[in-house]
Amino acid sequence: MKKKLIAGNWKMNGSLSSNEVLIKQLLLGLSTPNCDVAVCVPSVFLGQAQALIQSSRLDLGAQDVSMYESGAFTGEVSPAMLKDFGVRYCIVGHSERRQYHFETDAQVAAKARSALAHGITPIVCVGETLAEREVGKTEEVVKRQLAAVIHINGHCISEIVVAYEPIWAIGTGVTASTGQAQQVHAVLRAQLKAATPHADQIRLLYGGSMNAANAGQLLAQPDIDGGLVGGASLKAQDFLSIIAAAH
């Protein structure tokens, strides 16, 4: 049976001192989680996080990866560099990257391929804006975003993780209802089923104001296999409560 995955997305937060406190608190509270757990940290902190979590139940994640292997791409971090630091997961296509860095569906798909080529599991984010939801375009948007990834990664699509993150729920305190989230997850599952016989093994995470209070209900939905957690992953007790709700 596939294990659920709870991944923390620290975004652009943290410092050497606060990271150490947070990771140590997580390690103390983790003992034997029933699910996989990862923290996706800013790339400058990968070395620190790797040293703190080594041989623990916590996996290391990054928040972005270059679609290129190496060379004249100032500011970029390659998949081989991430691998060097023991990175297991990498978020690609987060809505903040799509919105503020104008990443296209094709670039997100190329980043997923780049990660996969180095044995890193991409956590591919998809999600609609409030305006798109209000005009009934949610399915169309998430299917278009996922289709681009399936298109160039079809042969190894069963190795990805997908995170459905409605943009209107990210960092807003407004969570998608369990019904809304499950409905989109079912659409994504059906799309993956058309692409691979192993679609049931692919973990579909929900993200968007997941917290200690709502995690249990969301994670009980049949097609919700974990969470991508922003704000609540920065507080050890909150993140540990979400992890405890995943089994």
Q: Active-site positions?
A: 94, 165
Q: How far is the CB of 197 from ligand PGA (least distance, A)?
A: 29
Q: How far is the CB of 241 from ligand PGA (least distance, A)?
A: 14
What is the number of residues in the chain? 247
Is position 213 an interface residue for ligand PGA (rule: CB under 6 A)?
no
Q: How far is the CB of 236 from ligand PGA (least distance, A)?
A: 15
Is position 63 an interface residue for ligand PGA (rule: CB under 6 A)?
no
Is position 228 an interface residue for ligand PGA (rule: CB under 6 A)?
yes
Of 33, 61, 166, 207, the residue at the interface with ligand PGA (CB under 6 A) is 207
Is position 93 an interface residue for ligand PGA (rule: CB under 6 A)?
no
Of 123, 192, 210, 245, the residue at the interface with ligand PGA (CB under 6 A) is 210
Is position 119 an interface residue for ligand PGA (rule: CB under 6 A)?
no
In the complex, residue closest to ligand PGA by CB: 230
Is position 103 an interface residue for ligand PGA (rule: CB under 6 A)?
no
Q: How far is the CB of 71 from ligand PGA (least distance, A)?
A: 30
User: Tokens 């996080």 appear where?
Assistant: 49
Is position 101 an interface residue for ligand PGA (rule: CB under 6 A)?
no
Of 140, 171, 174, 213, the residue at the interface with ligand PGA (CB under 6 A) is 171
**Measured between alpha carbons, how far is residue 231 from residues 8, 41, 49 in Å?**
8, 13, 18
CA 147 to chain CA centroid, Å, is 17
Is position 196 an interface residue for ligand PGA (rule: CB under 6 A)?
no
Is position 214 an interface residue for ligand PGA (rule: CB under 6 A)?
no
Applying CB under 6 A, the residues found at the interface with ligand PGA are 9, 165, 170-171, 207-210, 228-232
